[in-house]
Amino acid sequence: MAKTKLKMLYVYEERIPNNLRELVLSTLEGDVCTVVDSMTYQTPDSEKIEKLKKAEAVFFAPGRHLDDAVLAHARHIKLMQLWSSGYDKFNVAGATRYGIPVANNGGANASSVAEHAVLLMLAVYKWLPNSCTRTVTGDWKGNSHGMDMFTLEGKTLGIIGFGNIGRQVAKKVRGFGMEVLYYDIKRADGRIEKELKARFTPLEELLKTSDIITLHLHLNEQSRNIIGEKEFNLMKKGAVLINVSRAQLVEPTAFFGALKNNKIHGAGLDVYLEEPTSPNDPLLTLPNVVATPHMAGTTYDAYISVLAHALENFRRVRNGKPPLWVVNNAG
């Protein structure tokens, strides 16, 4: 006898393109789930409540805030599955209050984000956007002949946050011949350190000795503004900061000053305090910033991996097993 399909509600942002929504629906609709409805975050709360009543599980792509007044009517939901690794923009506290498990993607997009971090390292070291513009326009008179460009080989990389993404970064830069340091509130197993050739280092030492520093932390009250004026003063003058995690990890005034006054060489960014970004944002007009539009984890391959993880969790819930990658203590 075939098992009953899990009734799933799909929640998405209005900006998500049709072809991506179709990929989600075609992947999740099958033997495990039936998609009973969909909605956006702009759907009125009264309609959200009615749609939640029809579902047993919810897929949020991406995970954004639902008010407690809505979650109070979702106590029956067996799992709220987030598209992303980060969950700071979701109302996890509210879901916990009403006994609803919330799971992230279990590192499904870690490789994609790690590749993007390495892309930004290279783009800053080679000033790729400026170099592309000068090539397209034929304006070679500003060519520095490489006097302001560098190689990754022989440099020291400091990874702050050594979870799924941080470890993927360490793995990917091995081929570039970099020395890898890392800092995390929890030291990794010695076997992992040996495999990735990464050395645990106190934060202050990492900041002082790294040529490139890359951030891979979840945002919480402990990590907010973990990089501020004190930390920028500890960095090498030629240091590069990469942030593909959350903009709030870096104190904005100190960051702008460090870049504008050339305390550090440059920055590669994929996350911002305001998203989408505003035209002529002072930070983004600085010549030593390379920026991309929060796209690190958004590759087709990452989508397939994320959806596979989501399906695995929905299958487990349908079969009466606890879901994986739960980020709250609920249920």
State in Å, rounded, how far the first CA of the chain is from the last one.
28
Which position has the token pair 């030291």?
Answer: 187
Please identify which of the residues 22, 47, 153, 275 carries the catalytic annotation: 275
Measured CA to CA, the distance from residue 90 to residue 19 in angstroms comes to 24
* Distance of alpha carbon 142 from alpha carbon 155, whole angstroms: 26
Amino acid letter, residue 71: L
Return the C-alpha torsion angle 120, 121, 127, 133, nearest 10: -20
CA distance 320 to 8: 16
Structure tokens at 274: 């305001």
275 is an active site residue? yes
> Is residue 294 annotated as part of the catalytic site, yes or no?
yes
Which tokens hold the place of 2? 């075939």
Q: Which residues does 170 contact at the CB level (< 8 Å), separation at least 6?
A: 157, 159, 162, 180, 182, 196, 197, 198
Contact 263, 235 (CB under 8 A): yes
Written as six digits, the tokens of 162 are 């050594």
**Position of tokens 């000068």?**
134
The residue annotated as part of the active site, out of 294, 312, 315, 316, is 294
- Per-residue CA distances from 314 to 6, 51, 320, 322 (Å): 7, 18, 10, 10
Question: Is-catalytic flag, 13?
Answer: no
The H-assigned helical ranges of 127-197 are 128-137, 164-173, 190-196
Exactly one of 116, 167, 216, 246 is catalytic; which is it?
Answer: 246
Residues serving a catalytic function are: 246, 275, 294
